[in-house]
Amino acid sequence: MKISNQKPFISGNWKMYKTIPEALELVKAIKGASPKLTEAELVVIPPFTILSEVAKIIEGTSVQLGAQNVFWEEKGAFTGEISPFMLKDAGCQYAVIGHSERRQYFGETNEIVNRKIKAVLAYELIPIMCIGESLEEREKEKTIEKVETQISEGLKGIGKEEISRIIIAYEPIWAIGTGLTATPAQAEEVHSFIREKLAEKYGNETASCAILLYGGSVKPANTYSLLKEKNINGALVGGASLEADSFIQITEDAIKAYKEKK
Ligand code: PGA
């Protein structure tokens, strides 16, 4: 699957929320709105238990499906893990890798992130690699250093063809689930740095096509101003993706911002 940043990319990370009936209600509402949202790439990222149910509902629509995590092996005695092969089988096109909650609570390192990215690419899933600094790192002015390390270690051994199938989400940890959002200027500073790094490694053309998402308390009130920034191509939305109305509003605002910056 080829990706492009011609449209804003809006993804909803449902985290560990939603029973099957709740998930179906939400995805049906998103599906209902999707014909008027075709100017965005729309992706829902439910918990594993709901993936195949959601896949059935969105089949034949523009809504796409992602998973929140993945293991790198195809199959085997790895109790509790889910493989890229299984995600494909459940109907996924995307897998989030290295979300800060996975790094923080489950010990995921850049090396693990790198292994997962490679495994996912081999199954033609699109990895959404998450990076971002803690509040302490920001206060000590270590943001760029942190992000640079996460990029270079997370993308170790990734070639030019592969990078064009990877999405990067910059999510400052201090902004996730806290209601604090990076200002558009703070987010843009890091996004433009990420694009520069990609340009250094893979050339300008490849870097200019990359999809760079912002995540961390994205909501209808801030989507437009974030998406107006040159290097922000979309959002990874947590809390505000759990309600259809706010997720749809975010998508509409992203479409509006994207049109105006072209
Ligand atoms: P939030 O989560 O929008 O609830 O801050 C974003 C994320 O963790 O991806």
Q: Residues 161-178: what's their mean pLDDT?
A: 94
pLDDT tens for residues 172-191? 999 998 888 889 999 999 99
Residue 147: pLDDT band (50, 70, 90) is: very high
Pick the CATH number of 9-261 from 1.25.40.10, 3.20.20.70, 1.10.10.10, 3.40.50.300: 3.20.20.70
Extract the tokens encoding 261.
């910056």
Pocket lining for ligand 1, CB < 6 angstroms: 13, 171, 176-177, 215-218, 236-240
Indicate the domain borders of the chain. Answer: 9-261
Under the banding of pLDDT at 50, 70 and 90, the label for residue 35 is: very high
CA of 241 relative to ligand 1 center, distance in Å = 9
> What is the Å distance from ligand 1's center to 216 Cα?
5
| Catalytic position from the list 133, 137, 171, 188 | 171
Q: What is the pLDDT of residues 91-133, one digit of tens each?
A: 999 999 999 999 999 999 999 999 999 999 999 999 999 999 9
pLDDT score, position 14: 98
Q: What's the whole-number mean pLDDT along residues 36-65?
A: 97
Task: Quote the percentage of the chain above a pLDDT of 70.
Answer: 99
Confidence (pLDDT) at 180: 84
The model's pTM is 0.97
Secondary structure (H, E, C), the chain:
CCCCCCCCEEEEECCCCCCHHHHHHHHHHHHHHHHHHCCCEEEEECCHHHHHHHHHHHCCCCEEEEECCCCCCCCCCCCCCCCHHHHHHHCCCEEEECCHHHHHHHCCCHHHHHHHHHHHHHCCCEEEEEECCCHHHHHCCCHHHHHHHHHHHHCCCCCHHHHCCCEEEECCHHHCCCCCCCCHHHHHHHHHHHHHHHHHHHCHHHHHHCEEEEECCCCHHHHHHHHCCCCCCEEEECHHHCCHHHHHHHHHHHHHHHHHHC
Predicted confidence band of residue 1 (pLDDT cuts 50, 70, 90): low
252 included as an active-site residue: no
Mean pLDDT of 55-69: 98
Active site residue 99: yes
Task: Please report the pLDDT score of residue 178 as a whole number.
Answer: 87
Q: What was the pLDDT predicted at 116?
A: 98
pLDDT tens column, 202-229:
999 999 999 999 999 999 999 999 999 9
- Mean residue pLDDT across the chain: 96
Query: Given ligand 1 and candidates 10, 13, 105, which is best to mutate, with the most ligand atoms within 8 Å of its CB?
Result: 13
Residue 256 confidence (pLDDT) above 80: yes
